[in-house]
Amino acid sequence: MRIALAINGEGFGHAARSACLARELSREHEVLVWAPRTVLSFLRSELPGMTFHHIPVLRMAKRRHRILYGRTLLMNARLLAAFPYIVRRTRRQFEQEGIEAVISDYEPFSSRAALAHRLPVVVFCHQAVLDRVPDYSLPGITARLLNRFMIPHRVHHVLSSSFFDGDIGPLIRPELRSPSERPGNHVLVYGSASIRPQLEQALQSFSQVDFRVYPRTDGDYLEDFRAARAVIGPSGHQMLSEALCLRKPVLTFPQPGQNEQYLNACMAQKTGLARVGNLEHAALDIRRFLGEVDQMRLNPASGRHTFKLHDESALAARRIAALLAGDSHATPARPDAPALVPA
CATH code of the domain in which 113 resides: 3.40.50.2000
Taking the CA atoms of residue 112, residue 67, residue 307 and residue 123 in that order, the dihedral angle to the nearest 10 degrees is: 0
Instruction: Name the band, by pLDDT with cuts 50, 70 and 90, for residue 232.
Output: very high
Q: Where is average pLDDT lowest: 24-28, 61-65, 246-250, 323-327?
A: 61-65
Q: What is the pLDDT of residue 19?
A: 97
Question: pLDDT at residue 330 above 70?
Answer: no
Asked if residue 234 is part of any domain, the answer here is yes
Do 92 and 181 lie in one domain? The reply is: no
Contact 81, 135 (CB under 8 A): no
Higher pLDDT, 40 or 142: 40
Shared domain for 48 and 119, answered yes or no, is yes
- The pLDDT value recorded for residue 83 is 94
**Shared domain check, 284 and 217:** yes
Residue 236 shares a structural domain with residue 117: no
Query: Do 12 and 112 lie in a common domain?
Result: yes
- For residue 194, tell me if it sits in a domain: yes
Within this chain, do residues 32 and 143 fall inside the same structural domain, yes or no?
A: yes
Answer whether 297's CB lies under 8 Å from 273's CB.
yes
**Do residues 18 and 126 share a domain?**
yes
* pLDDT average, residue stretch 197-217: 93
Say if residue 273 is in the same domain as residue 181: yes
Q: Please determine, for residue 343, whether its predicted confidence score (pLDDT) is greater than 70.
A: no
At 334 the pLDDT is 56
Q: Tell whether pTM > 0.85.
A: yes
Structure confidence at residue 5 as a pLDDT band (50, 70, 90): very high
Give the distance from CA 317 to its chain's centroid. Answer: 17
Share of the chain above pLDDT 70, in %: 94
Residue-wise pLDDT tens digits, 132-154: 777 778 778 888 888 888 999 89
In this structure, are 183 and 160 located in the same domain? Answer: no
Total domains in the chain come to 2
Residues 12, 116 within the same domain:
yes
- The mean of the pLDDT values for the chain is 91
Phi-psi region of 300 (alpha: psi -120 to 50; beta: other; left: phi over 0): beta
Residue 301 lies in a domain: no
On whether both 252 and 205 belong to a single domain, the answer is: yes
User: Residue 185 is part of which domain span?
Assistant: 174-295
Average of per-residue pLDDT across 321-335: 71
Cα 214 from Cα 224, distance rounded (Å): 10
pLDDT tens readout for residues 47-87: 999 999 999 998 877 776 677 778 888 888 898 999 999 99
pLDDT tens-digit profile of 266-302? 999 999 999 999 999 999 999 999 999 999 999 987 7
157 shares its domain with 88: yes
> Rounded CA gap, 2 and 50, in Å?
12
Please state, for a pLDDT cut of 90, what percent of the chain lies above it.
71
